Amino acid sequence: MAAPVNESDEVDAKLHQVHYEIVRLQKKCTSRNISDYRIKNAAQSFYPSKEKKRTFSKLFIFVSSILTCLVAVIVYVEPMSRLTTYIQRQVLMTTLPVIDWRSLHRIPCIVSNSYKVNEVQSLQTEDCQNCSSITEVGTITEPDIEVVIEYLDEDVPININYTVSHVNAVTIDDIIKLYLDDDVMRLYTCCEFDSNIEVRRNDHRKFLEDIRNSKITQYYGVWRNCFTEAAKLFRQVYKRPDYLPFSLELVPSNGIFICSDYTNNSLVEVPFIEEVMILLQITGSQSLTLKPRRPCEETCQPIETILSEGSALVITDYYYDIEFRSCDKDTSINVQLGAKWDI
């Protein structure tokens, strides 16, 4: 019985035969005094076509030029540039509830910048001795900018119980009207939405619609206006407190917490944290808990405080996390502002 023929051996044999025929043909042409130029011309079919390469190069350059012109028109020429910006924003706002693309800017760089200053100061164990003596929130009724600075320098939370100019006559109906009836406000979604009421896609507008239609009466809801345009429109609800130091610069975004007849003592975190937080109690009263951060949970104690209507909590982000507690039967509306030191 004949041994099976290996496929690789067959291929090698065929390649060897082709090589042999080419060499024999080349020798035959040489013996007839045929020049190398004529031999190369006759063997053109064995080489890739240069004409095809030239055609592809010309086509690539033409298509690239057209695309470049289109991009330039879209980016620089009105009204195409405005339309493109609008479409981009709509796509970003639509995908935000599904993919939190805002977290990309918080990804640390691969290579650290040794020249960067004003790095966030981390809380160390030895620092916990400083907050161990803090047993309550400081209260002042006639705030002075210098006094506020002293509290902030010591990282001591302060309750400014002061009939101030930042409070407008705001009701839950005003909040609902702003978010549901304003044509511009309706364009923007929110961020960090949380509530005891389950709504589709964490949509704060659906939550407010249920309140307007009296489908829910016991509730809390908290979210952040992360889009600059929405945050600007929301500023009609409050005014910048006049007791804040001029070196504190408010960040573009702001947050809101609304609550009514919710007494489950659930702790709800403030939707965002900055170097300095200002919590304005616009309507009603609100219970808050200041929870010590690691590694100070054992050394420092949680602090509970109540913000009455017209008062404000001013606190740094060093020792404590801020949590909302239950509210009474009256509606509570609290506005959160973040600020950074501009020095």
The pLDDT of residue 118 is 47
Q: Which residues of the chain have pLDDT under 50?
A: 1, 117-120, 165-166
pLDDT at 313: 93
CA 236 vs CA 166, 168, 178, 249, 251: distances in Å: 10, 9, 10, 18, 16
**Two tokens at 141?**
């009724």
Instruction: Calculate the CA dihedral of residues 277, 195, 323, 287 and round it to 10 degrees.
Output: 100
- Residue 116, sorted as left (phi over 0), alpha (psi -120 to 50) or beta, turns out to be beta
Q: Name, in order, each residue with C-beta under 8 angstroms of 175's C-beta and a sequence gap of 6 or more.
A: 208, 237, 256, 258, 333
Assigned superfamily of 125-341: Cupin (2.60.120.650)
pLDDT digit string, tens, across residues 158-199 = 999 875 544 567 899 999 999 999 998 988 888 888 888 888
Half-sphere CA count of 130, side-chain side, radius 13 A: 14
Identify the pLDDT of residue 168.
62
Structure tokens belonging to residue 160: 């400014």
- Domain extents in the chain: 125-341
Spell out the SS3 assignment of 205-252: HHHHHHHHCCCCCCEEEEEEECCHHHHHHHHHHECCCCCCCCCEEEEE
Query: Strand, coil or helix: what is 330?
Result: coil
